[in-house]
Amino acid sequence: MPNVLCQVREKEERIKQFQADLHNTVGLIQEPKKLKDSIKGLYVKYADPTAITAGTDGQGSVDNDIQKEYSRQREHLERSVASLRKKLSKDTEIHRADNVRIMQVGHTINRCFQNYLTVELFELFARFRKT
């Protein structure tokens, strides 16, 4: 129990120190550069990277269930991305084949039309020469 009280006092002191530093930082509101530097200093001084991942045991370990859930969701998303990429490549190939077929049909129609016009042109020339 005394250990818990000691921890509570330490936390309260840290909070009071932070409040005092924050109050001093707010005093720099009219000087943007100094304010920015002061905020950076607060971050460096008070931001504890292990506090984000600290578990209930205080050892800095992430709860095992949370880690498993994160891994499960990550694997699901990776499988979804792989499936979507596979579908995209399949659809791209289908559309490419359709485009090639359409271009071939268009080319064939163009050739037929060109041959028809050539025949018509020769017939017109032949009629023109007879007259």
Taking the domains of the chain in order of start, what are their residue ranges? Answer: 1-47, 64-131
Tens of pLDDT, residue by residue over 27-61, are 998 998 999 999 988 888 888 665 554 444 554 45
Mean pLDDT score of the chain, rounded to an integer? 86
Question: pTM for the full model?
Answer: 0.39
- When pLDDT is cut at 50, 70 and 90, the band that residue 92 belongs to is very high
Q: Are 42 and 21 in contact (CB under 8 A)?
A: yes
Question: Encoding tokens for residue 68?
Answer: 């498993």
What number of other Cβ atoms are within 10 A of residue 22's Cβ?
14
Q: Where are the beta strands (DSSP E) in 10-98?
A: none
